[in-house]
Chains A and B, each alone.
Chain A
Amino acid sequence: MPMSDTHAHSVAFVRTEEVPTAPPPSNAAGPAKWVKDNLFATPLNGLLTLVALYFIYAILSSALPWIMGGIWQAPSLAACREILDGASAACFAVLSERWNQLLFGFQYPDDQYWRPGLAFILLFVAAAPVLFFDLPRKLLAFTAIYPFIAYYLLWGGTVFVPILAFVGIVGGFLVYQRLVAGSFAAGFFGGIIAAFVIWTIGGWLIPDNASANAALPAVPSRYMGGFMLNMMLGVTCVSLSVPIGIALALGRQSSMPLIKWICVVFIEFIRGVPLITLLFVANVMLAYFFPPGSGVDLFLRVVIMITMFSAAYIAEVIRGGLAALPKGQYEAADSLGLDYPQAMRLIILPQALKISIPGIVNVAVGLFKDTTLVSVISMFDMVGMIRGPILASTEWNGVYWELFGFAALLFFIVCYGISQYSQWLERRLATDHR
């Protein structure tokens, strides 16, 4: 007798298909469960949620009407207050009225604003291949010439200066490539000497009055201001300080006591004093150390000091990266018969720099924020513009929150953007297959 028959007799009903999964009870699924688990898990937690909700309400209820009711068109604060007629709302008119001053400073010639604008847009094109590895490598050629283009656009004057600088660097690089096969030191120093020779000879060749009727009128550095100045200082100093930082970090690890101690003293000294004292040095003291009558301008002096400052911090970050590499990597490089420069360039630095990227980005963000400090030595960066020419003007004396809110927003966008990029890059570079 088949089995099914016995069942058919003894059991009244046999289910032949699986029961569909029942949905969870309504209080254990969906938004209700989420709210219960994440906002009201315990009485204390619920209380915290209520306090937090009240906090958010208190801020939004006062800030939102203030922002939404803001006036965007008015010639002065008095006019703006008249339009508002006693209502409490923002006078964003100061932003539209002084937009160009906030971005470019108050001395940059009006008809030349397209130049920093173009340089800013090109910055993204130049930075893209460095930041995103998937882009075609040929774009790096543009990155290489970008500094010269940007210099020419921002400062204008004779086109010979950036061209000469570029030719000098290309010449130095060619010499380096010829000599580096023999020895890295010969290539490195040979390249530097070649570049200097080209610059010196070229300097004699450029006529003195070359910038008199140039295509782009020359703009002196003291005319630079606003957010443009923050961007210029940030980008220049970060890009200059990375190579210097690498050199300092390697020097600090060196087995030669003299080199090691020079680097240690430099790094610890710079890290031990506030940036503002270094800016004082740039402002009032550095001029004493240049040859009499050379008159190096304030922008360059500030760039020198800020670069030294961030180089010391970047050196410490890279030192951390070097220390984090397993000793086996150094030994492997030695056992392959590589000499010191080869081992560093081919084995150690690529790995150490990869580990140090988040730290370097942190330093870069910190440095970009610190460029606002130049307002203390009466340079008119974004904060300097707000504190000086705008708040002191008769039209806008007393507009406080709108201006500083705008500056804060601008810095937040840039810094938050950079830190998000760094987190993306970290995930991207994680090659340890965890």
Chain B
Amino acid sequence: MTTLTDPPQGSFHLSMLINDTRYRSMTFQVIAFILLSLSVGYLYSNLAANLQAQGLRIDFSFLGAPAGYDINQRLIEYTSQSTNARAAIVGILNTLLVAFLACLMATVFGVFAGVLRLSNNWLVSKIMAFYVEIFRNIPVLIWILIIYGIMTVSMPGARPYLGENPEREMLFGMFAFTNRGVYSPAPIWGEGSMVVVAVFILSIIGTIGYRRYATNLLYKTGQLLPMGWPSLVILFVPTIAIFLLMGQPIGLDLPDPLANRFNLRGGIQIGAPLIAIWFALSIYTGAFIAENVRAGIQAVSRGQTEAASALGLRSGRVMSLVVLPQALRVIIPPLISQYLNITKNSSLAILVGYADVTATLGGITLNQTGRAIECVVLMMLFYLTISLLISAVMNVYNNSVKLKER
């Protein structure tokens, strides 16, 4: 778009600042800059005046002071004597934990519901449409509270699981569902367990290598090697062999109904708040992902499927070689922004008392120290970093799957 301007006539007039396209954009930017500086200055002077009136200063030293409160659900060592900074890190890890879990489960729900919604079965597709509409149109906050209610109001206490002859059996003797959360076995890493883990990682690499080799062989010579059972053998046999050879170094720490009169001990306790926020975010975001998946599959034109069948591919191959690669190009970008939404929505964990970063740094620490500005700014920085990281990943992915147009 080029704009034709009259050749300059005579000397410079002041009105040319507005009317001449050569200067106009500069004029506007200068005006915008002045307005911006004025408003920033105004806000800053208000801030300074308000802080002075209350005798406060922007100061981050509170991060080094003892936090003085306990956190139940934590991934790293933490006591009430730890610093506020450590409390914030516990919160950050909890946020990442719940976001990760919810992303996994939301993807499962979403793919499941999205595929079934396209099912030929009228009843099934209507049920899935119902699921999507119900969950998309009700605030996630209400879902979190409802699921938290199911966890805390409808579940039994720990009592029935306790004692020699408990009223309730643990599921497989390992899992107990109570109103405080779910108790599950924890792995015990004995001596030499790292060897088993290392072997398992090597097996995974070996499986990938074998599959790649078989594919290459097929493309080059047309010789077809079996894929299914050799992969399974490579994946599991060496690990199990080493596990037995080393004398079973990895054990299970089961929840113990006899250790204590009031509660189960041992194993991993997944608290009710974590489960509530995890499920609520998964099932709510799953409804959105279902719509993305459906749109992605429908975006692949029918001719592609028909062409693939005409080439003689079996229906599984049609899906994996033709439809999915094209559908994924449509599905992945909105999927990643849904992951971003999950991460941001995990801040609602504060409602059910799950100690994520909003609850520790933005909640208790803020209230106890009164350092509102510092806490909120740090919290925003954290979320901003995560968002920018996820968008960066998305851009890399988008560039790699972009249709190569020549």
Whether A258 touches B50, Cβ cut-off 8 Å, given contacts A276-B358, A280-B376, A376-B351, is: no
- The list of the 3 closest CB pairs from A to B, nearest first, reads A272-B387, A38-B122, A415-B137
Interface residues of A (CB under 8 A from B): 38-39, 41, 45, 48-49, 52-53, 55-56, 183, 185, 255-259, 262, 268-269, 271-277, 280-281, 284-285, 287-292, 330-331, 334, 365, 369-370, 372-373, 375-376, 383, 387, 398, 400-401, 404, 407-408, 411-412, 415-416, 419
Give Cα distance in the complex from A45 to B350, angstroms: 43
Annotate B119-137 by CB proximity to A: 1 below 8 A, 0 otherwise. Answer: 1111110010000011011
Q: Would A288 and B50 count as touching, CB distance under 8 A?
A: yes
Kindly identify, within residues 351 to 381 of chain B, every residue whose CB is under 8 Å from any CB belonging to chain A.
Answer: 351, 358, 362, 366, 372-373, 376, 379-380
Minimum CB–CB distance for A367 against chain B, Å? 11
Interface of A is mostly: helix
A334 touches B3 (CB 8 A): yes
Who on chain A is nearest to B343 by CB?
A274
Q: B124 — which chain A residues lie within 8 A by C-beta?
A: 48-49, 52
Given A256-B28, A276-B347, CB of A412 within 8 Å of CB of B383 = no
Interface set, chain B 129-149, CB cutoff 8 A to A: 133-134, 136-142, 145-146, 149
Is B309 on the interface with A (CB-CB < 8 A)?
Answer: no
B384 surroundings in chain A (CB, below 8 A): 269, 272-273
- Of the candidates A257, A375, A416, which one forms a contact with B133 in the assembled complex, judged by CB atoms under 8 Å apart? A416
- A sample of 30 cross-chain residue pairs with beta-carbon separation below 8 angstroms, ordered by A number, consists of A38-B120, A39-B121, A48-B119, A49-B124, A52-B124, A255-B25, A256-B25, A256-B28, A258-B33, A259-B28, A262-B36, A273-B380, A280-B362, A280-B366, A284-B366, A285-B372, A288-B47, A288-B51, A289-B47, A334-B3, A369-B137, A369-B138, A373-B141, A383-B141, A400-B149, A400-B153, A404-B145, A404-B146, A411-B139, A412-B137
CB contact under 8 A between A41 and B120, given known A262-B32, A262-B36, A276-B348: yes
Whether A277 and B376, one on each chain, are in contact in the complex, defined by CB atoms closer than 8 angstroms, is yes
Sorting the interface of chain B by its residue count into under 10, 10 to 19, 20 to 34 or 35 or more gives 35 or more
Chain A residue contacts of B373, Cβ below 8 A: 285, 288
Q: Is B29 an interface residue when CB atoms closer than 8 A count as contact?
A: yes
Q: Inside 8 A of B1's CB, which chain A residues have their CB?
A: 330-331, 334
Tell whether, in the assembled complex, residue A277 and residue B347 are in contact, meaning their CB atoms are under 8 Å apart.
yes
Contacts of A407 in B (CB 8 A): 142
Residue among A275, A288, A290, A401 having the largest count of chain B Cβ atoms under 10 Å: A288
CB of B101, distance to nearest CB on chain A (Å):
18
Minimum CB–CB distance from B48 to chain A (whole Å) comes to 9
11 new A-B contacts, CB < 8 A, other than A256-B28, A284-B372, A331-B1, are A41-B120, A49-B124, A183-B18, A262-B32, A274-B358, A276-B350, A277-B379, A281-B376, A334-B1, A373-B348, A401-B146
In the complex, what distance in Å separates the CA atom of A183 from the CA atom of B384? 40
- Give complex CA distance A271, B386 in Å: 12
What's the Cα separation between A383 and B43 when bound, in Å? Answer: 33
Q: What residues of chain B lie closer than 8 Å to A284, measured between beta carbons?
A: 366, 372, 376
- Minimum distance in angstroms from A189 CB to a CB of chain B: 10
Contact of A369 among B133, B140, B350, B379 (CB under 8 A): B140
